[in-house]
Amino acid sequence: MSSCNDIQEKIARDESLSGAERAHTIACESCAAVIADFTLLEAALRTFGTAVPAGFVDRVMAGLPAEGTATPSAPRRWVPLTVAYAAAVLAVLNVGGFLANVFTASVALGGTP
Amino acid sequence: MDDEALVEQIRRGNREAFRLLVLRYQRPLFRFLGLLGFDAASREDLAQQTFLSAFRAIADFDPRKGRFSTWLFTIAKRHASHERERAHHRHETPATEATEALSRHPAPDPAEAAALAQRVRLLDAALRALPGELRSTFLLSQINELSLEEVAAVERCPIGTVKSRIHRARERLRLALATRETS
């Protein structure tokens, strides 16, 4: 037979009691008080924060990105890759522009390109 | 339809599947945020942010790594932590959940109403007095949606630690209620 301490420890851990232990909690004032405490605690917990405001789901749905602007299945690396490609293109254009400027300046100074 | 099937539908562009997920998790999420001590306005803001973040990142959800509920509560916990930091910088005191809870659960007779009011206030104070990690772990387990393994994943700690935290939190709350009720 478990001691009161063991039984109360099980109750505190929310573990299930054996038949003999359950019978003990009915006869034992100390263990019955612990069960009553936890019943009270659980009842009080149930009164907290359960209300969902009316229309909440509609507000969530209305707040989602417009269809077509964000595809949930789109891989996240899509944007960085696009940015990377754009940066690469700009870099090439910049280098091209720089070479073109050198070429133009060289010709204007009468040099050979 | 289970969560993973709904997620697959959402990835294919079915927004109604997302509505079903919101309906399924709105109640446990509000309960979690309420028990963390957020007032009604903050609860709604945080719940909205959580669902919106989940929708935006749905492509990242990997069912092989854990259940959808674990993933969703991890997002909620992150938003809640950020909100706490912001409120701390604004030097705000969170509104009492006890008053709101009482207004939702009016007791039929004055004596019972007084006892319930006292109990809810004590619980509110006791929950606030719990150390952060104890409170968060306890509340995640109280949601009943999260198993010990899932709470451990959200809290990023071993299952043994989860069990110990739940036990300590329950005992502290019980004593807080029992001591005051008898005094």
Torsion sign across C-alpha atoms B169, A28, A30, B98? positive
CB contact under 8 A, A61 and B40: no
Taking residues B62-70, report their average pLDDT: 87
pLDDT tier at A112, thresholds 50, 70, 90: very low
CATH number corresponding to B1-95: 1.10.1740.10
Average pLDDT of the residues of chain A: 72
Q: How far is CA A48 from CA A31, A96, B70, B123, in A?
A: 27, 66, 21, 10
Asked whether residue B90 carries a pLDDT value surpassing 70, the answer given is no
C-alpha dihedral, B167 to B168 to B171 to B173, nearest 10°: -120
pLDDT tier at A94, thresholds 50, 70, 90: low
pLDDT digits (tens, 9 = 90+) for B136-158: 898 888 765 678 888 898 888 99
Q: Euclidean distance between the first and final Cα of chain A, in Å?
A: 102
Asked whether residue B33 carries a pLDDT value surpassing 60, the answer given is yes
The per-residue pLDDT for A56 is 95
The Cα–Cα gap between B135 and B78 comes to 15
Torsion sign across C-alpha atoms B61, B78, A43, B23? negative
Region of B42 on the Ramachandran plot (φ > 0 left; ψ -120 to 50 alpha; else beta): alpha
Residue in the structure block whose two tokens are 């998790």: B25
pLDDT digits (tens, 9 = 90+) for B101-137: 555 554 556 666 677 677 778 888 888 888 988 988 9
Average pLDDT of the residues of chain B: 82
The Cα–Cα gap between B134 and B99 comes to 23
B41 and chain A: CB distance < 8 Å anywhere?
no
pLDDT digits (tens, 9 = 90+) for A56-88: 999 999 999 887 765 565 444 444 445 555 555
Residues of chain B contacting A76 with CB distance shorter than 8 Å? 57, 59-60
Per-position DSSP letters for A12-23, written without gaps between them = HTTPPPPHHHHH
Instruction: Select from A41, A59, A73, A76 the residue whose CB has the most chain B CBs within 10 Å, as the one to mutate to test that interface.
Output: A41
Contact B130, B138 (CB under 8 A): yes
Question: Nearest 5°: CA angle at A67, between A61 and A69?
Answer: 120
Residues of A with CB under 8 A from a CB of B: 12-14, 33-34, 37-38, 40-41, 44-45, 47-53, 56-57, 59-61, 63-65, 67, 70-76
pLDDT digits (tens, 9 = 90+) for A8-63: 888 887 788 899 998 999 899 999 988 888 888 887 777 765 678 999 999 999 99
Contacts of B119 (CB under 8 A, 6+ apart): A40, A44, B177, B181
Q: How many CB atoms lie within 10 A of CB B83?
A: 18
Q: Where are the beta strands (DSSP E) in A1-113?
A: none
Q: What is the pTM of this model?
A: 0.62
The per-residue pLDDT for B46 is 95
The per-residue pLDDT for A105 is 53
Residues of chain A contacting B32 with CB distance shorter than 8 Å? 49
Residues of chain B contacting A78 with CB distance shorter than 8 Å? none
Domains in chain B: boundaries: 1-95
Q: How far is CA A73 from CA A63, A77, B14, in A?
A: 18, 11, 11
Interface predicted TM-score (ipTM): 0.70
